[in-house]
Structure 1
Amino acid sequence: MDQNCIELIGVSKCYQSSSGERWALQEINLKIKQGEFVGIAGRNGSGKTTLARLFNGLILPTAGKVLVNGMDTADRRYLFQIRSQVGMVFQNPDHQIVSPIVEEDIAFGPENLGFPREKVKELVERALKDLGLEKLRNHAPHLLSGGQKQRVAIAAVLAMQPAYLVLDEPTAMLDQQANIQLIRHLKRLRQEYGMTIVLISHHMEDLTFVDRVIVLDKGRIQLDGSPASVFQEINTLERCGLKQPEIVQMADNLRKKGYQVDPDIVNLEQMVEHICRLLKLKV
């Protein structure tokens, strides 16, 4: 058994209501290894949020097992360790911010985990720096913009030093500029620390910088592969209520017109680099 991953084995989740049973997930087999940057896509109701809540034991599967570094989320003896290792960031940061000052909010988690005062200070400083919040340390979170609040929520989770960072629709309430800034911070966290990140979104553009894309629909995994390979499955994406990212559509159109465009190009940065290389070749 792999001790350095989140693994779902035959996982199904059923919700009971007055109208009967609703299966949110069915027969999910999935492994997320440490160091991966994974994107999970799907329309509303596809099972994305249920999957996120299973990762750290917020809910338990109806059938199957969820293992975090070999620990079963159904075993209450491991629940504290699991939740310490799998940090969760949700769509609305107001639901996670608990203190009246940014710096205090980031310190709240490590203080409650029992870290020494100097260690807490070190972790807070690092989180403030990593999320570009140094100038906002003494601000009141409720006065910040949506993008700033979301960065505070992420910093508060990072300060607890989780092995995995799971973000459920973190850009849903952000404008385009705040969205871009948030994705940029996540990329840097991955590059600098090799952190395992699971980014859940129904916006395909958010997932153009990940290593691996998983597409959910009707509670089942429909696609699982590199962004370049998944984004070419146009028929399956459309059936799942999703579209190719705009840059991928542009690259496809250029190829149809006879231009040599690398098939692995899925985001704007890659496209700009590719065009610059082509221009240098022509000079």
Structure 2
Amino acid sequence: MPEGDTVWNTAKVLRDGLEDAELIGSEFRVPHLATVDLAGYRVADSLSRGKHLLLRVVSPEHRELTLHSHLRMEGAWRVYAPGERWAGRPAHLIRVVLRTAKAVAVGYHLHDLKLVPTAREAELVGHLGPDLLGPDWDPAEAVRRLSADPARPVGEALLDQRNLAGIGNLYRCELLFLRGVWPWTPLRDVPDLPGMVALGQRLLAANRGRWTQSTTGSLRRGETSYVYGRRAQPCRRCNGPIAKRDGDGDGERITYWCPRCQPQPADT
């Protein structure tokens, strides 16, 4: 699942390529939107809300619509110049094509595609917690939502977009390592939950605007993470082996952690 900074970057690519331009054509390759024609609409904005993408368009009659999409694991948007070869993904994965005089936006393997009046966006994203990269980021509200279920494992709670929107598995694992917290610690036993939330926001913000994600400060290949993707490799702090636990098939994600730097509490 992409992290919030990846979705933010994707929204920026669409905004840079399409904003304020008039659509001269659109093509939707999904049954429920197959008859939609957005030609004549102006692209007003492109923004992310957690892991959701919202592309807002306005008709000459001032009708405001929002195209919602979710990348999940495989989705991507690419922007090409007119006439440029579409080399992003196989053609059979294309779900949306939006054309302007100067750019063509192609959406591959997109999920949850919906077109709704902009005034009804909350029906699609209103359930989300505070967006770590949004202008209305509210750390106190994020802490309040997390604290509402004190028995829940912290690693699970951080991935719940209803608590705070934007953290994926990479940042979840890295954040818990940096705070020295065992991933299955109940929220009630997590020391300084506000500090953890604040650090999570700083990690995403530090990677906003670039595609290579790093929590270590290094952008060199193999040096960008502390624990994520590093099973059995030496911990960068204690030199002990990084552990990995696979998901249980019931929605739990793969977890990486250092058993020495993130020890299991004695009473759990």
**TM-score, normalised relative to structure 1:** 0.27
Q: Write 1 or 2 for the structure with the bigger share of helix.
A: 1
- Structure with bigger RCO (C-alpha 8 Å, 6+ apart): 1
